[in-house]
Structure 1
């Protein structure tokens, strides 16, 4: 495995783990802690499932030794980063005068998604076929 593949796998593990740790805390009217998979009491749905899907697709394309997989991996990594930016911006936004507190999970998701995007730019290249005349 190349260095970029190892870093990609570690970043994906961080994304998956961060989906289960607290993303934000709402203190009013009741104390409510929200993770990526447990958003009970809100209307956000399950935002972690988007990260699960994109991360699996990135992982698959990372280990396929074809040039088309490396190009598609850029798309999947960009979608994962876009989903992380969306979660970072929309989920902890103020609503009705109640502003939640951002917690570690949101920052980990965003940081790991940036790392995944960077590693998608530097993939392990598939072996070149020799030119014949």
Structure 2
């Protein structure tokens, strides 16, 4: 089982990579190099996700990449509320572009519904081209 989530604030894979690099340069983030995304709700199907699933990122209405989920940790936010930290492998794996309408929070994404990884030998469309193709319904 996988999770799908909107990548708020990043409009491209490069934006996500640069944002993470800036945070590391500021001394923020985990010492072990893993990426963490904090979300409000803990998935009930955690045992089906951890070590097997990925977090698929939606950017500009298109699924563009994924990161393998290595842990789902219970945490507390700065206001004392319970939350979930999605701990991910830092490697970002490009996927075949796949359109996705906006939604709130995260959703489960069955393996059969997940877009395939982009073949390294393939010419990937640029992020702007992928957004245009998705807007035209061609992805």
**Do both share a fold (TM > 0.5)?**
no
Would you tell me which structure has more helix in proportion to its own residues? 1
Larger gyration radius, structure 1 or structure 2: 1
TM normalised by structure 1 equals 0.23
